[in-house]
Amino acid sequence: MGICNGRVVIVTGAGGGLGREYALAFARDGASLLVNDIRREAAEAVCHEIVQNGGRALANSDDITRTDTAQHIVDVAQEAFGTVHVLVNNAGICRDRMFTSMTGDDWDEVMRVHLRGHFCLSQQLARTWRDAAKAGQPVDARIINTTSGAGLQGSVGQANYGAAKAGIAALTLIQAAELHRYGVCANALAPAARTSMTEGVFADMMRKPEDGTFDYFDPANVAPLVVWLGSAQSAHVNGQVFEVAGGMIALAEGWRTGPQIDRGARWVPDEVGSAVAQLLTQRRLAQPVYGA
């Protein structure tokens, strides 16, 4: 008996990396899994591993960026396991280039997979949960989104990815505010782990240690937080963004109104500079952009 016993979970991009570890960890804690990945064989391999260990899982390779196929994912999960309780939006891609070299396709594809991919499935399930709540049925649901340090602090060479991930962080706050009345909690995490998306840039830094010491960037390190957020135990946590790496869990502090000067009248352009200079001396410095 685990903390997710009886819960039904959809994980996207679950054929490898972080998504695979999430699916395996949820299954170990009693959940039934719909394992979604565009690589059908990879999704089936994860399901086979879950079933071999006594769990329940179903592979799916539908497109998460279309509303019709997103609805099909939900329908398949419900037909197989019953009510869906948790959605983990994990699938993503990178198309890294310096901003001046980035193509329109580089931009659009990253936005499609990350932002639209988070939108379509979330909306289909949110509507299901809203209708159930309005019908008087108990709802204890979770949306777990995936942002990134690139979205929270910025990252050189990742204008498209960082902008998409920043959008996901904002989407999480809005989902949390709008859906809580229906019994839905929405949270996000910014994981640092070794995956296929990090191989090109961070392969050396994230390499598995050969001396048997703690593998800080093992994607399995991120899974316990995700499983807990998907459990009934997390019902009091909503609208939060977590940074997680190795054995560290941190709560990200978002944008907020900082120092201010109000003159009570319209500013004269020539006087703005001195006011801004005063505000800059009072500010809390932001974390530096990655790679700057």
Pairing of strands 141-146, 184-191: parallel
Distance CA 131, CA 115 (A): 24
Active-site hit among 32, 122, 155, 165: 165
101 is catalytic: no
**Strand ranges in the chain using DSSP code E only, listed in sequence order:** 8-12, 32-36, 56-60, 86-88, 141-146, 184-191, 241-245, 248-251
Catalytic pick among 22, 122, 161, 234 = 161
Catalytic residue flag (residue 165): yes
142 forms beta bridges with: 86, 185
Q: Is 207 helix (H, G, I), strand (E, B) or coil?
A: coil
For residue 5, the one-letter residue type is: N
208 noted as active-site residue: no
Distances in Å between the alpha carbon of 72 and those of 64, 86, 92, 125, 230?
10, 16, 20, 11, 22
Three-state DSSP state, 149:
helix
Name the active-site residue from 32, 122, 148, 231: 148
**What are the residue numbers of the active site?**
148, 161, 165
